[in-house]
Amino acid sequence: MTTTLDTTSGLTATDPTTRRGTHPPTTIGTRPARPGATFAAAALAYAGRTIRQFVRTPQLIVVNGTVSVMFLLIFRYVFGGAIGTGPVRYVDFLIPGLAASGAFFGGTGAAVGVASDVESGTYDRLRSLPISRAAVLVGRSIADTALGGWGLVVTIAVGYAVGFRFGGSAADAVLAVVLCIVFSAAFTWPFIWMGLVAGNEQAANGMGFLAFPLVFVSSLYVPVESMPGWMQGFAQHQPVTLMVDAVRALSLGDDGAAILTHDAGWYVVRAVLWSLAIAAVFLPLAVRRFAR
């Protein structure tokens, strides 16, 4: 029996073409691989491979942090003075929103990365291996979430440098960070699916920007109440607004009651449900597309 190694992913495959009887199989002292362990090993192997790609391409890491910081500085110093947020300082209004929506700023890069793997034939090789199709994409999601975590660190650090201050408790701070990571993980799946559907980097880059209206038609940069009446209904109930307001409610502490209509728990529950719904829709779509 022959074992082959895929050098791009670090995953191995066993050649099933070896004829039976040439080497009698030995069963004594061997244990079958557990399916769960195999799935986890494949997912972590591909996640590690993708993270190593990020490290070897530092511009990806720089761009992921820079785009969010660019919007932060523009809205903090250019538009912030013209946006009314009641008794809450605009910088304290803005930073939680940018932290919660960080997945969008790196999402286009994720879609392009997936499309690049499609073009290079990496996924064709992985499909020939006896591993779960979902494990490969879960590995990609883990890597993109880790990159989003880096962007979150940069956003918070720059936010504090320009005047942001956290108004909640230590437990609120931990929960806010966990929610940002959960949101980032959920939104990797639409972008992974876009990259698979696009098939090439140019198309993936364009498709990634289709998600940006969700960012701007939300409470991220301005209060929903300042929007036209016909737009407010959509803006109030779409997932980005609920995710942003969940993190904002935790970050502002008691001051949040002045600009938010519900308490933190109300927003957190709905934001988590939206995250689960997004993953539940786009994960199967991505796996199905990958298997084609």
For residue range 156-201, list pLDDT tens digits in order. Answer: 999 999 999 999 899 999 999 999 999 999 999 999 999 999 978 8
Tell me the average pLDDT of the chain.
84
Q: Which domain covers residue 233, as residue numbers?
A: 32-291
Assigned domain for 5 exists = no
Q: How many domains does the chain have?
A: 1
Assigned domain for 1 exists = no
Phi-psi region of 286 (alpha: psi -120 to 50; beta: other; left: phi over 0): alpha
Assigned domain for 18 exists = no
In this prediction the pTM is 0.82
Task: Give 64's Cβ-side CA count (13 Å radius).
Answer: 28
Assigned domain for 140 exists = yes
Assigned domain for 16 exists = no
**Cα 151 to the center of its chain, rounded Å:** 11
Assigned domain for 113 exists = yes
Assigned domain for 26 exists = no
Of 43, 36, 54, nearest in space to 126 by CA: 43
User: Each residue of 228-276: pLDDT tens digit?
Assistant: 999 999 999 999 999 999 999 999 988 888 889 899 999 999 999 999 9
Residue 69 is predicted with a pLDDT of 87
User: Each residue of 34-75: pLDDT tens digit?
Assistant: 444 488 888 999 999 999 988 888 877 787 778 888 888 998
